[in-house]
């Protein structure tokens, strides 16, 4: 049971006291760590305490309350869910080149329906993966992925390389719960049994937690990884060129590579410092290849550090349903994959998409200017628990409940492990799943019955 009886309360004015409950084993969906050991103290519609949560998780839980917004807005005017569903179905059915985008902050159940809608209307489906670890997805197809779970890292990894990320700030419990600090089955002394290296252009808070910081020059991660591959294989390298390009001396680099080869179980946890920088998928490819090569000597793995709570679920769901993780075109009745062509940032920046279905994402705040300009011009249907710049320009904006806080479902942790959600309190707003299901139903009625309800 996830819900336990509340502790006994002092007697007070009973009519005014909201229901108090404690939800154990709740799941935080703010970041890809998806910590499922939360203990939430809930009073009515407010989470009062989030035990075990990090600073980000606390902010996630404690700031979620029921918004005072209409359930839907059509062209700036409050509307009912029914009206908004009708208008959304009409926009999506009539579009010639629609895109579905977002999906990393909703449940797998909702993601499935979003893919189904894209299929029925012959549109493109893309997720926020395309602007986070999309390049790593391309790299997996090129060189494969020697993978592992966070549990294996906790229990086995005696050498950990964090590359192009700052988990101390972006995934605060990664160090303590999964990677650096915990005592594991084969690492009884926890941190003392592990060596940690940070490879990053900045000396971030994460550098303080590592034993070694290789402060690589910006835009030279590929060269660094390639040099490490060569050193690992004993290939002669040009010392001066490596130092000049990467800023790291050959001696220091050799020390790290030898340490990696001597480890029992190693993992490279890589972030968007690789994927967002020039070279992109080639940077990820170089790091994945390094991990693969090291398996000649000992056990090495590599995993991307994923950001949003269910971005990994989005990759999984979209892949089961179409065969590809993002940047998919369904307009010919079968899936085709082409990043750069059917990825949302490109479809919008080139002015090609004529309608958009956006779920739990805010591209109007984080896409390039030409992409934003085009999105603001076309019809869009936006689902979001909170007001956003994207919701402001939407033709139809739905207010939704929040996954993990108000609605149950499944999310995938960054290591592809599915985890159930245990909600804290009900919301008067519908979930993404319910709204998408209703839009899908209405689209099918239009397609099958010429618009008549069945």
CA atoms of 397 and 382, how far apart (whole Å): 5
Using CB under 6 A, which residues numbered 48 to 77 contact ligand SF4?
53-54, 56-57
| Per CB under 6 A, 271 contacts ligand SF4 | no
Which of the stretches 30-38, 199-207, 216-224, 294-302 binds ligand SF4 when contact is defined by CB under 6 A?
30-38
- Applying CB under 8 A, which of residues 32, 98, 102, 172 lies at the interface with another protein? 172
- Applying CB under 8 A, which of residues 106, 130, 179, 206 lies at the interface with another protein? 130
- Applying CB under 8 A, which of residues 48, 202, 252, 264 lies at the interface with another protein? 202
CB of 413 to ligand SF4, least distance (A): 9
CA atoms of 332 and 311, how far apart (whole Å): 26
CA atoms of 265 and 146, how far apart (whole Å): 12
- If binding means CB under 6 A, how many residues of this protein chain bind ligand SF4? 13
Cβ contact 427:421 at 8 Å: no
| Per CB under 6 A, 419 contacts ligand SF4 | no
For the chain, give the number of residues.
454
| Per CB under 6 A, 171 contacts ligand SF4 | yes
Which of the stretches 68-76, 132-140, 165-173, 367-375 binds ligand SF4 when contact is defined by CB under 6 A?
165-173
| Per CB under 8 A, 131 contacts another protein | yes
**Torsion region of 102: left, alpha or beta (phi above 0 gives left; psi -120 to 50 gives alpha):** left
Which of the stretches 77-85, 116-124, 129-137, 149-157 binds another protein when contact is defined by CB under 8 A?
129-137
Please state, as a whole number, how many other Cβ atoms lie within 10 Å of the Cβ of residue 454: 7
| Closer residue to ligand SF4, CB minimum distance, 177 or 229 | 177
| Neighbouring residues of 244: CB distance < 8 A, sequence distance ≥ 6 | none
CB of 302 to ligand SF4, least distance (A): 20
CB of 31 to ligand SF4, least distance (A): 3
Residues interacting with another protein, by CB under 8 A?
A: 30-31, 55-56, 59-60, 63-64, 126, 130-131, 134-135, 138, 166, 168-170, 172, 201-204, 215, 218-219, 272-273, 275-278, 280-281, 307, 326-327, 339-341, 343-346, 349-350, 362, 365-371, 386-389
């Amino acid at each position: 049971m996830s819900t336990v009886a509340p502790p006994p309360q002092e007697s007070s004015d009973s009519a005014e006291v909201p229901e108090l409950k404690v939800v154990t084993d709740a799941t935080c969906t703010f970041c890809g760590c998806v910590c499922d050991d939360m203990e939430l103290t809930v009073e009515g519609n407010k989470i009062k305490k989030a035990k075990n949560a990090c600073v980000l998780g606390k902010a996630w839980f404690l700031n979620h309350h029921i918004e005072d917004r209409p359930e839907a807005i059509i062209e700036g005017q409050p509307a009912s869910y029914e009206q908004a569903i009708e208008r959304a179905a009409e926009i999506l059915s009539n579009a010639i080149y629609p895109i579905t985008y977002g999906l990393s902050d909703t449940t797998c159940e909702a993601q499935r329906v979003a893919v189904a809608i894209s299929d029925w209307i012959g549109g493109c489906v893309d997720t926020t993966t395309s602007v986070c670890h999309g390049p790593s997805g391309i790299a997996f197809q090129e060189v494969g992925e020697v993978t592992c779970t966070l549990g294996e890292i906790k229990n086995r990894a005696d050498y950990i390389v964090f590359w192009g990320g700052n988990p101390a700030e972006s995934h605060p419990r990664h160090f303590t719960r999964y990677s650096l600090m915990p005592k594991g089955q084969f690492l009884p002394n926890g941190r003392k049994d592990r060596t940690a290296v940070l490879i990053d252009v900045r000396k971030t808070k994460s550098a303080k937690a590592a034993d070694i910081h290789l402060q690589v020059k910006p835009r030279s991660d590929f060269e660094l990884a390639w040099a490490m591959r060569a050193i690992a294989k004993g290939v002669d390298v040009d010392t001066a060129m490596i130092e000049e390009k990467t800023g790291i001396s050959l001696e220091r680099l050799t020390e790290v590579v030898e340490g990696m080869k001597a480890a029992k179980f190693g993992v490279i946890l890589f972030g968007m410092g690789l994927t967002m920088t020039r070279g992109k998928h080639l940077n990820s490819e170089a790091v994945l290849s390094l991990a693969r090569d090291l398996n000649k000597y000992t056990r090495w793995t590599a995993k991307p550090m994923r950001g949003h709570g269910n971005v990994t679920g989005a990759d999984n769901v979209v892949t089961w349903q179409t065969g590809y993780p993002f940047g998919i075109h369904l307009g010919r009745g079968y899936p085709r994959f082409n990043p750069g062509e059917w990825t949302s940032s490109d479809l919008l920046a080139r002015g090609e998409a004529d309608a958009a279905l956006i779920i739990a994402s805010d591209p109007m705040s984080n896409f390039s200017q030409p992409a934003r300009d085009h999105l603001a011009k076309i019809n869009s249907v936006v689902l979001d628990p909170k007001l956003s710049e994207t919701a402001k320009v939407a033709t139809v904006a739905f207010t939704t409940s929040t996954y993990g806080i108000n609605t149950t479902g499944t999310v995938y942790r960054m290591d592809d492990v599915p985890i159930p959600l245990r909600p804290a309190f009900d919301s008067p707003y519908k979930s993404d799943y319910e709204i998408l299901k209703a839009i899908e139903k209405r689209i099918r009625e239009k397609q099958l019955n010429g618009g008549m309800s069945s």
